[in-house]
Structure 1
């Protein structure tokens, strides 16, 4: 079973997601992070920090693989 990353929105940018999980501190850091690390969304390299991530996507960060899930409304 792959570790899960939960998002509240239906769609989030890769920059917002990297910030949410604590890999970067600012949105501007996303561009640098994407250049220096292996990040894939559904086995495809994101085109930039505004690439979209949605529920069910497979996210690879370096050698770690995660599944993105939407938090269920309470």
Structure 2
């Protein structure tokens, strides 16, 4: 299943997620990172840093593993 990244809002953008997961240091690095590394959201390749991620979404990041978006509840 992978590491859980919990959010307290309705959604988080892919760029925010990359920073929250500790994959990039700043939000400004998101565009570069997505152009250099493969990222899949729910099994589909994704390169838009503004892609909205909701609880239950699974994000696979090349060289970093699998992450699940959660709410921190239950």
Shorter-chain TM-score bucket reads 0.7 to 0.9
CA distance in 2 between partners of 1:2 and 1:29 (Å) = 23
CA distance in 2 between partners of 1:41 and 1:61 (Å) = 9
Shift of 1:47: 4.2
Normalising by structure 1, report the TM-score. Answer: 0.83
Unaligned runs of 5+ in 2: none
Shift of 1:71: 2.2
Shift of 1:65: 1.6
Q: Deviations over 1:21-74 (max 9, x none)?
A: 1111221110111111111110112241101111000110115122111123xx
Moved >6 Å (runs of 4+): none
Unaligned runs of 5+ in 1: none
Aligned length: 72
Partner of 1:6: 6
Compared CA separation, residues 21 and 10, structure 1 to 2 (3 A): same
Normalising by structure 2, report the TM-score. Answer: 0.83
CA RMSD of aligned residues (A): 1.5
